[in-house]
Structure 1
Amino acid sequence: MAVAGCGTNTARIVDRTGGTISDAHVLTEIEWTRSLDETSTARVVINPSGDCCERLGEVRSWRHSLAIWRDGTLAWSGPIIQVDWRQGEIEIFASDISAWLARRVPHSDMVFTDTDLMVPAQALIEDGFAPDDPGHTVQVVGPARVRGSRSYTTDVGQTLDHLLDLADTGIDFTVIGQTFVLLPEDHSASIGRLDDGDFPDGLVVSEDGASLGTRWVVAGGQNAAVIGSAGGSHPYYGLLERYLEESSVPDVASAEAAAASKLRTSLPVPVFIDSQEVTLSPQAAVDVAQLVPGWCIDVTSAQTCRQISQRLKIVGVKVVETGGSGDTPGSESVQVQVAATGAEATV
């Protein structure tokens, strides 16, 4: 049985041509994240030695990428966004490869009529990288099972914003290394089970009332001319109406499908277990490599007044390792954030 364990993280600076600029031989701090429906980040602090300092002085934003391995397996990769040089150390900040799509626009007109939303999602990614590909792959886990129409115009809007709009109304995505993973928002495959013993420092069960909506209205087309809605007054919560504009939605049927998708993920009140401030036990019965946002974990907790036993979706992962100093040894911590929405089933 795989357990979280205590991994060892290593890093390398890579040129856009694929060549190695420098290995990070002396890492004092390293952290990387995985995120659902947003761009994840990584950060390293390096103490340069020998000619490593000269090579690290040549690191440039967007030209070079940061690659991180955990126990010899590629765990994270993406363009360097910021570099801070200080006396005796270099701090590097990077974002995953979805950051490229925040600097791309549609390169062709695209029209999709009554199609599964996974189709335009994949098309946006491929179009975004078509003129200049730093290296990417796309893995489609399954159809969104949410249909609709979408249209995109050459040079109008950032590609990542268009993808995020789809993530609001029917799909999920995450980035692992150089791979975009596209999933249906109701994907519920579980990678393991956790309980209070797997969170030795305790955890927080939170109810996200700000995300609740009992009726959703989605406005599409030019000047919000197309209106679709789903839901209404709820017998328990009453009426809480939410509004979303998405110009790429061209017709009423698509707007109604988008509204229904939003309703599924905001009713009942989303509940999440936040363990970002604590460390997952090394003996927890999960493999860190399998902690991928969009997959689920069965979680049972009775330590708080809000007891919960439910299949929860992974929405964030953070891995931090410090090199330590003096008599203080370095250590790795693995933190995971999971959330329950209307799409997850109680277990």
Structure 2
Amino acid sequence: MAVAGCGTHQAMVLDRSGATVAVANVLTEIEWNRVLDGVSTARAVINPDGDCCNRLGRLSTWAHRLVIFRDDRYVWDGPVTGINWSLGQVELQAQDVLAWLDRRVVHEDKVFTNTDLAEVAEWLIADGYAPDDPGHTVQVVGKAGVSGSRSYSRNIGQTGDHLAQLAEAGIDYTAIGSKILLLPEDHLVAVGRLSDADLPEGLDVAEDGAALVSRWVVAGSEESGAIGEYGGVDPYYGLHERYVEMNEITDSESATEAARARRRASLPVPVVVDTQQVTISPLAAIDVPSLVPGWCLDVTSAGTCRVVRQRLKITGLKVTETGGNGDDPGTESVQVQVAATGAETP
């Protein structure tokens, strides 16, 4: 049975062709993240040795990428977006492969009619990378199970923004290394369990009242006049209404499906279990590289007044390791964020 353990990290910098530019032989700090429906980040602090200093001195943002391994397993990859050279060290900031889509626009006109949102997302990603692919793959874990009609126009809107809007209508996505995963919003496959014994410092359970919406109204493009709604007065929470415009939607049926997906995520009040301030025990029965946003953890906790016994969706992961100095040997910290899915722990 896998356990979280105390991982050791390695990092290297590659150029756009995949050739190795520098290997971080002395890695003093490392941090990498994974997020659901967004762009994750990483940070590495390197003490250059030998010819490494000359190599790191020639780095440029967006022309090079940071690749991270944990115990020799590939866990993170993405373009370098910030560099700081200082006496005796070089600090790199990076974003995952999805960051490129925030810097791309739609390259051709495209109309989808009653199409599964996973297919729409695949097309957006392919179109975004088509003129210049830094190296990516796409894996469809499962169809969204939500269909809709969408229209995209050449040179209108950032591709990353279009993809994020799809995520609000019934599909999830995340990046693992250079691979982009597309999965249904109701994907409930668990990759491990956590209990109070695995969280020795306790956890934080929060209810986000600002996210509560009992009735959504979604308007499509002005040309189509499409409008859809879903929900109403909730017998427990009362009436909480929100209106949003999604200009890529071209018919009322698709607008209604988008409203349904938004209501599903906003009622009941979203409950978030956060371990940002605590570290998962190295003895926890989880495999850290398998903690992928969109998958779930079965969490059982009576450590707070809000008892939790649910299958919760992973929405974020943060792993840090410091090399330490002097009497401090350095440590690894694994922190995970999960959100309610409505499913009970089996």
Normalising to structure 1: TM-score of the pair? 0.98
Is the contact between residue 81 and residue 94 of structure 2 (CA under 8 Å) also seen in structure 1?
Answer: yes
The Cα shift of 1:222 comes to 2.7
**8 Å contact from structure 1 (residues 198, 284) kept in 2:** yes
Aligned-pair Cα RMSD in Å: 1.0
Corresponding position of 1:277: 277
The aligned counterpart of 2:77 is 77
Q: Quote how far apart the aligned CAs of 1:226 are.
A: 2.2
Structure 2 Cα separation of the partners of residues 43 and 183 of structure 1: 27
Which residues in structure 2 correspond to 1:234-249 (within 5 Å)? 234-249=234-249
In the alignment, is the contact (CA less than 8 A) between 1:121 and 1:166 conserved in 2? yes
- Spell out, residue by residue over 1:226-246, the C-alpha distance to the aligned partner (whole angstroms, 9 max, x if none): 211100011000000112211
Distance in 2 (CA, whole Å) between partners of 1:193 and 1:98 is: 29
Counterpart mapping for 1:285-304 below 5 A: 285-304=285-304
1:232 alignment partner in structure 2:
232
Q: What does 1:51-62 align with in structure 2 at a 5 Å threshold?
A: 51-62=51-62
User: Contact 2:27–2:46 (CA<8 Å) still a contact in 1?
Assistant: yes
Question: Which residue of the other structure, out of 325, 331, 346, is the alignment partner of 2:344?
Answer: 346
Where does structure 2 lack aligned partners over 5 or more consecutive residues?
none
2:154 & 2:186 partners in 1: Cα distance? 31
Confirm or deny: 8 A CA contact 1:27 1:46 kept in the other structure. yes
1:223 positional shift:
7.2
Q: Distance in 1 between matches of 2:32 and 2:56?
A: 20
1:127-276 equivalence runs, <5 A: 127-222=127-222, 225-276=225-276
The AA in structure 1 aligned to 2:53 is C
| Preserved CA contact (<8 Å) 1:224 1:245 | no
1:25 and 2:34 correspond: no
Q: Is 2:215–2:242's contact at 8 Å kept on the other side of the alignment? A: yes
Which amino acid in 2 is paired with 1:140?
V
Contact 2:301 / 2:308 at 8 angstroms: preserved in 1?
yes
Shift of 1:224: 8.6
- Corresponding residue for 1:123? 123
* Sequence identity (%): 60
Q: Which amino acid aligns with 2:240?
A: L
Structure 1 runs of 4+ with >2 Å offset:
222-226
Deviations 1:181-230, CA, capped at 9 Å, x for gaps: 00100100111211111111110011011111100111110379321110
**In structure 1, how many angstroms separate the alpha carbons of the residues matched to 2:260 and 2:333?**
38
Match of 1:179, as an amino acid? K
2:43 counterpart letter in structure 1: R
Q: Once the 2 structures are TM-superposed, how far is the Cα of residue 49 of structure 1 from its aligned partner?
A: 1.7
What are the superposed Cα offsets for residues 144-200 of structure 1, whole Å, 9 maximum, x if unpaired?
A: 011110111111100010000000111000000000000100100111211111111
| 1:87 alignment partner AA | L
Structure 2 counterpart of 1:4, one-letter code: A
Q: Distance in 1 between matches of 2:38 and 2:265?
A: 17
Structure 2 Cα separation of the partners of residues 222 and 174 of structure 1: 31
Does structure 2 conserve the Cα–Cα contact (< 8 Å) formed by 1:224 and 1:247?
no
Q: Distance in 2 between matches of 1:33 and 1:258?
A: 29
Aligned partner of residue 300 in structure 2, secondary structure = strand
Structure 2 letter corresponding to 1:274: D
The residue type paired with residue 34 of structure 1 is R
Post-superposition offset of 1:331: 1.1
Cα distance in 2 for partners of 1:253, 1:225 equals: 12
Q: SS in structure 1 opposite 2:162?
A: helix
CA distance in 1, matches of 2:270, 2:136: 33
Q: Is the Cα–Cα contact under 8 Å of residues 212 and 268 in structure 2 kept in the other structure?
A: yes
The residue identity in structure 1 corresponding to 2:263 is L
Q: Tell me, what secondary structure is at the counterpart of 1:197?
A: helix
Unaligned runs of 5+ in 1: none
- Size of the aligned set, in residue pairs, is 345
Q: Give a deviation string over 1:110-162, Cα, whole Å, max 9, x none.
A: 11100111110011001111111111000101110111101111111000100
- SS of the residue corresponding to residue 259 of structure 1 reads helix
> Do the aligned residues in 2 keep the contact of 1:34 with 1:174 (CA within 8 Å)?
yes
Secondary structure of the equivalent of 1:305?
coil
